[in-house]
Structure 1
Amino acid sequence: MPCRRHLLQLQQHEQTFNDLATRIAVVTFETTPFARAYVDDMKISWPLLIDSDRTLYHAYGMHRARLWDLWGPGTWWAYAKELARGKLPGRPHADTSQLGGDVLIDPSGIVRFHYVGVGPADRPSITAILTAHRER
């Protein structure tokens, strides 16, 4: 669910990204039925790319989290905040140890921002992403 929260934050700043001529794509390793449900549930208007063999994940250093990273204090805190918002975590159906992150690539293909989370609750702030974009 923390990745859903991060996507919501990105969606809240969609106009800012549009003003900066930034195109966003969401990458998942989920199967097509779950990916479609995710798009519908989150009302994602951006392209959703399915990386089932995780080639893209691994190319950007997003491997598997360690046990402590999965169940450390940051994860518990993130889920406690979601519960306080009335959001119950769904039953996991995919690899919960797969790390996620954000990559900002400019039009010429140069990586301008690269963030690999250390656990399910670790995502960069929108401010960090926008700052990296403006500094390019």
Structure 2
Amino acid sequence: MAGENDEDATVDKSLVVNVLHSLTKEVARLLESARKQAKDSLQDFASSNVNALGASIGLYCEAFLRLGVITRKALDEVLGRFYRYQEIQNAVEELDDLESDWNAFLKDTESQLSKGEAQSSLSIGSPGPCDIELKDARTGRPSTIGSYLSKGHVIVVLLRHFACLPCRDHVAQLQQRAEDIARWGGHILVVSFGSREGALQWLGITGCPFDMVVDEDRKVYSAMGLGRSISKVWHTSTITYYAEMKASGRTLPSKLENIEDDPTQMGGDLVVDRHGNTAFIHCSKTPPDRPAVDDLIKVLKDLRKDEEKSARQDFEDDGPPRKIFKS
């Protein structure tokens, strides 16, 4: 097994330096362009020009593949094996500094655009957003989260935009465990802030079997404190996540044609128990940040335990049923 200071037999120092310098140079060029655009018009940059930062995904992917890796962790391991060389240390520090500048620029830009982080009006045990008017994505009929409570504890999955890869993966993971979720009294409801037309396309592309509603006014999103964030969506950790997916052979979803969308909207998960109270809240810190399915099932199991405990308590308070003897 290679030690920390052993060099990779398939990668030489000059290649590592070349890859790091190339990545740093091209990402710096994107950042400089973004700064100029933001200076010219902050609103235009945030609404559309910020999407040009997506080119960095391809740059990181190319760097991974040139060094024979598909993850940032594996890249860091390669760098660690060459880190005793001053030239490598300098190149790594340059990239680290650039990534810090990138994230700081986005954070500063966001602070100029917004009035602060969105705040949730929900807390564990508080009434859930059950009465907000929504629309059934399949039928177009009016709906609410409350209308699904008769089916069990509702796991509400709030999507980001329609082309969000981690959202699709999260829904697919829930689908794989759908029987377990139903066994513990759960019912899955997918929410999109997009149009019904876009939701129908998304359902067709993903094959999602779950109930789905649209929240075009983003009222459920607001109740959860889920706002828009360019600093989270374009953070270097998000960039490298997508680069990893691309390097591993995944196809990144394309924007739906002729459908208005908003990639900066954040997503999350919410569990509303069958009584309409909030049992679980997860506001995604980055696009890939979603609760594990096992964690959601644990919430359902805990709710089952609480129900059984309550039923036992009621039985003890009322006493066993009395026998009635006829004379």
**TM-score computed with the length of structure 2 as normaliser:** 0.39
Alignment of 1:75 with 2:75, yes or no, is no
Deviations along 1:40-81, one digit per CA (max 9) or x if unpaired, are: 11112211110001011101111112x321111331233124
Structure with the largest fraction of helix: 2
Trace 1:51-70 onto structure 2 (pairs within 5 A). 51-65=215-229, 67-70=230-233
The reply to whether residue 18 of structure 1 matches residue 182 of structure 2 is: yes
Return the offset for 1:128. 1.6
Change in Cα spacing, 1:15 to 1:4, as seen in structure 2 (3 Å) is same
Letter in structure 2 aligned against 1:118: K
- Which residue of the partner structure matches residue 43 of structure 1? 207
Aligned to 1:125: 292
Which residue number in structure 2 is paired with residue 29 of structure 1?
Answer: 193
Larger radius of gyration: 2
Q: Aligned partners of 2:237 and 2:265: how far apart in 1?
A: 16
Report how far residue 35 of structure 1 moved.
0.3
Tell me if structure 1 keeps the 8 A contact 2:190–2:211: yes
Counterpart residue type for residue 130 of structure 1: I
> Take 1:15 and 1:37, find their aligned partners in 2: how far apart are those partners?
25
Q: Once superposed, which parts of structure 1, at least 4 consecutive aligned residues long, lie more than 4 Å away?
A: none
Q: Give the Cα separation in 2 of the matches to 1:98 and 1:69.
A: 10
**Residues 80-95 of structure 1: matches in 2 within 5 Å?**
80-83=243-246, 84-91=248-255, 93-95=260-262
Q: Which runs of 5+ in 2 are unaligned?
A: 1-164, 304-327
After superposition, the CA RMSD in angstroms is: 1.6
Relative distance call for 1:133 and 1:77 in structure 2 (3 A) is farther
Question: Following the alignment from structure 1 to structure 2, what is the Cα–Cα distance between the partners of residues 4 and 103?
Answer: 17
Partner of 1:110: 277
Q: Please, which moves more after superposition, 101-110 or 71-80?
A: 71-80
Quote how far apart the aligned CAs of 1:113 are: 0.8
CA contact (8 A) 1:2 1:79 kept: no
- Which secondary structure does the structure 2 equivalent of 1:62 belong to? coil
Q: What secondary structure sits across from 1:112 in the alignment? A: strand
% of aligned pairs identical?
A: 28
Given the superposition, is the C-alpha separation of residues 135 and 77 from structure 1 closer, same or farther in structure 2, using an over 3 Å criterion?
farther
Does the 8 A contact of 2:269 with 2:281 survive in 1?
Answer: yes
Q: Is the 8 A contact 1:2 1:78 kept in 2?
A: no
3-state SS, counterpart of residue 7 of structure 1: helix
Question: Helix, strand or coil for the counterpart of 1:16?
Answer: helix
TM-score, normalised to structure 1, is 0.90
Matches of 1:21 and 1:73, distance apart in 2:
38
- Tell me the residue number matched to 2:87: none
Q: d(CA) in 2 for partners of 1:14 and 1:59?
A: 26
Number of aligned residue pairs: 135
